[in-house]
Amino acid sequence: MSVPTDLKYTAEHEWVRIADGRAVVGITEYAQAQLGDVVYVELPKVGDTLRAGKAFGVVESVKAVSDLYSPLTAKVAATNQALIDVPETVNGDPYGEGWMVALDLDGAEGLDALLDAAAYEGLIGG
Amino acid sequence: MKRTPLHQAHVALGARMIEFGGWEMPVWYAGIQAEHHAVRQRAGLFDVSHMGEFIVHEADSTAFLRRVLTNDAALLEVGQAHYSLLTNAAGGTVDDLLVYRLPAGKKGGAVYLLVVNAGNIDKDLAWLRSQVGPGERVKIDDRSPSTALIALQGPRSALILSELTAMDVWHMPYYHFARGEVAGVQALVSRTGYTGEDGFEVMAANEDITAVWNAALKAGAAHEIQPCGLGSRDSLRIEACMPLYGHELGDDISALEAGLGFFVKLDKPAMNGLERLRRERLEGPARKMVCLELLDRGIPRQGYPILAGGQPVGEVTSGLLSPTLDKAVGMGFVPVAHAALGTELAVDIRGRAVPARVVKRPFYKRAEG
């Protein structure tokens, strides 16, 4: 399983892409494979403040509900509304169209605690 | 963790394995939804060897089973099976199971096979043995460790099974069974299942089951058979509103509360829990299992509160986004005042009251013929 080297990660299997003053967040290939068919995604509202390490939404497979954990303390700048109607995108393109929220990097905290690809790969035994 | 004799076959097929009731079992191979649709539209093959098998026999076996089970074993002919519930003294449920009446043995008395839930094997065995009265001539043998069981389910099941055996599976009536050779090994074949589709279950000795499993997959390939895990087994049974012990059934839940009155025969001299079940049959139970369809976004899950007028009145016991109906549905228990068809309730999903309506049972019923 390949872990993209240009992203940062959390131990709870979220990825973070830092670009253009935002941190885009999704779940990893490993996480989607563990979950199986994603059938429902619940996301926060734009403007909500997320807390690093705290649950900010859920992703549900046929069988189970899993919390999404925020990698940063930051404000939500955008959410991926397309996932509301087509949640299976999380399975098909977890690092691309399956993104979940974009956080505003202005005033964000917790960036230093994120894992790099090698550390995350070690975590999942890759 | 215990493994079934098909463990290697699952690994070879790329199954994702999970722990279930002390067993390492496949939860899916291709994905729960793909497996679910395969069973509804074509055929699916499940390993359910973790389930328990007991033989109940000797002279007083029928009287014994009539006393410990809600259904009436005396109604079974040889070659017939039925669903039944094992009750405790208070009328709650120890387990739900299938009872097969086998041909009589040498020692006299009817011989029965009980197929019980994997997680309840030890508890059931201890309970059954504790219920044998002084001088009562009944023996309970646990055959679980040496017995394997697979389920072939879906509209193409008879077609596939007929290629593995000379037995006339096409004309086997629902809830009947026969013994014979399947894929070159001795097996017990019943027209039973837990999916809401036509289908069969094939029981054989541990050492013989892999031959049946492989032959079914081989013969089924032309009919697009799919190996299926416990994930789709659960999603299929929820659509069919079949109870699962630990969800819709438990020590304090009676068969009548769970809406299983058809399997409760009270015309008996004695039965565990008879008092409560007779009262509930006469007066109706105080709470009932309801089938709920959600009217807004969200998926009901076990343990979520069911609300009436904003107040909690019960809990969801099972729920999912139904792959066949593409609706969020669930089962749960509420006081009878809130159980009528069409009643508007709500499910508390992580603090959000999502409107729901009580609908007819089951959510999914296959077309006849």
- Return the domain boundaries, chain B: 7-49+146-239, 52-144, 286-369
Interface contact flag, B298 A65, Cβ < 8 Å = no
Mutate to test the interface with B, among A30, A40, A58, A62 (most CBs of B within 10 A): A62
pLDDT, position B369: 57
- The CATH architecture to which B286-369 belongs is Beta Barrel (2.40)
pLDDT, position B368: 73
Mutate to test the interface with A, among B16, B327, B329, B350 (most CBs of A within 10 A): B350
| Residue spans of chain B under pLDDT 70 | 369
Smallest Cβ distance to A62: which of B32, B297, B298?
Answer: B32
Give the domain ranges of chain A.
8-115
pLDDT, position B337: 98
**Which pLDDT tens digit goes with each residue over B302-322?**
999 999 999 999 999 999 999
Class of domain B52-144: alpha beta
By CB atoms closer than 10 A (0-12, 13-18, 19+), residue B174 is: exposed
Place of tokens 């003053």: A21
Q: Which residues of B touch A84 (CB under 8 A)?
A: 297
Distance from CA of A38 to the nearest CA of B (A): 10
Its pTM surpasses 0.90: yes
Cβ atoms < 10 Å from Cβ of A84: 13
> A2: pLDDT confidence band, cut at 50, 70 and 90?
confident
Interface contact flag, A63 B16, Cβ < 8 Å = no
**Which pLDDT tens digit goes with each residue over A64-102?**
899 999 999 999 999 999 999 999 999 999 999 999 999
Mutate to test the interface with A, among B37, B299, B322 (most CBs of A within 10 A): B299
- The CATH architecture to which A8-115 belongs is Beta Barrel (2.40)
* Angstrom distance (rounded) from CA A83 to CA A94: 11
Q: Which residues of A touch B15 (CB under 8 A)?
A: none
Asked if B107 reaches chain A (Cβ–Cβ under 8 Å), the answer is no
pLDDT, position A126: 60
**Which pLDDT tens digit goes with each residue over B223-258?**
999 999 999 999 999 999 999 999 999 999 999 999
pLDDT, position B28: 97
* Angstrom distance (rounded) from CA A43 to CA A38: 14
> A63: pLDDT confidence band, cut at 50, 70 and 90?
confident
3-class secondary structure, A33: helix
Domain B7-49+146-239 part of CATH 3.50.50.60 = no
What are the strands, taking DSSP E only, across A20-100? 22-27, 38-42, 49-50, 55-61, 65-69, 73-79
Q: Which of B357, B332, B322, B333 is nearest to B343 (CA)?
A: B357
Closest alpha carbon within chain B to A88: B33
Output the CA angle B118-B122-B125, nearest 5 degrees: 110
By CB atoms closer than 10 A (0-12, 13-18, 19+), residue B196 is: buried
Average pLDDT, chain B: 97
